[in-house]
Structure 1
Amino acid sequence: MIEKYNFPFKGTLIIMLSLILFVSCKMLKGPDFTKIQVGMTKEKVVQQLGKPDAIVASKKYQDGILEIYEYGTPQLENSADSTAGFRQYWLYFFNNELQEWGIKRNYVPSDYDRYYEKYRHRH
């Protein structure tokens, strides 16, 4: 009698494990930055990369808004260091337009003004 219920359980277990493996691999892939380019709108970037992990900064200036989005990837910080974790990328938007992106930098709030000065001259 127990044998009768064993097969559906095994089948369900195999399907669930396969699904977990598929989802895990998809999560480890991370965003594909080859799909974006400078000049794209925030909406288009989010459409291509998905929702950001965080909005690092948002500051309004007289002539526009500066925003910094953060995306994480499972890439190693150093290929020789297998214990490294996620690499974080920052995407810089001014007036809803992607200005640049790159590896996360340490910042302080006064840096917003430096980014603003850098990007406002492009408009």
Structure 2
Amino acid sequence: MIHKNYNTIFRTTLVTIFTLILFSNCKMLQGPDFTKVQVGMSKAQVIQKLGKPDAIVAAKKYQDGILEIYEYNTPQLENPTDSAAGFRQYWLHFFNDELQEWGTKRNYSPREYDHYYEKYRRHH
């Protein structure tokens, strides 16, 4: 009788643990919700809405401000038919703590810092 009771408790515990893992992984698979982000938000507001970035891709100080690029990864596949394609990466561009633009990652090199700086400083 005692053996049967432990068996039931063990199964119930396993089912509970499995269910918790399943639901926590589903939440992770959703990724950041970019509908909550708007141009003009501060870095703190963006982090409050999306969480901490997965990486700070770039940061450069200029005479009149600082340019920073944050990266957020989503579990959304680039090509849904190819499961090996990888995950989509979004870059958020900040100048002087203000979100200037965001979108999917593009090929990027550090020499492009100045291009982004010139583009964003016109808005300030």
4+ residue runs over 3 A deviation: none
RMSD: 1.0
Distance in structure 1 (CA, Å) of the matches to 2:6 and 2:64: 68
* 3-state secondary structure, aligned to 1:59: strand
| 5+ residue gaps, structure 2 | none
* 3-state secondary structure, aligned to 1:37: coil
1:34 aligns with 2:35: yes
Letter in 1 for 2:9: P
TM-score, scaled relative to structure 2: 0.94
- Aligned partner of 1:66 in structure 2 is 67
Identity of aligned residues (%): 71
Q: Write the deviation string for residues 3-38 of structure 1: whole angstroms up to 9, x where unpaired.
A: 221111111111110110011000000001000100
* 3-state secondary structure, aligned to 2:21: helix
Letter in 2 for 1:117: E
- Aligned partner of 1:77 in structure 2 is 78
- Aligned partner of 2:89 in structure 1 is 88
Number of residue-to-residue matches in the alignment: 123
| 5+ residue gaps, structure 1 | none
1:16 aligns with 2:37: no
TM-score, scaled relative to structure 1: 0.95
Distance in structure 2 (CA, Å) of the matches to 1:64 and 1:120: 8
* 3-state secondary structure, aligned to 2:78: coil
Letter in 1 for 2:61: K
Which is worse superposed, 12-21 or 77-86?
A: 77-86
Distance in structure 2 (CA, Å) of the matches to 1:25 and 1:4: 32
Letter in 1 for 2:105: K
Task: Map 1:38-53; keep pairs closer than 5 Å.
Answer: 38-53=39-54
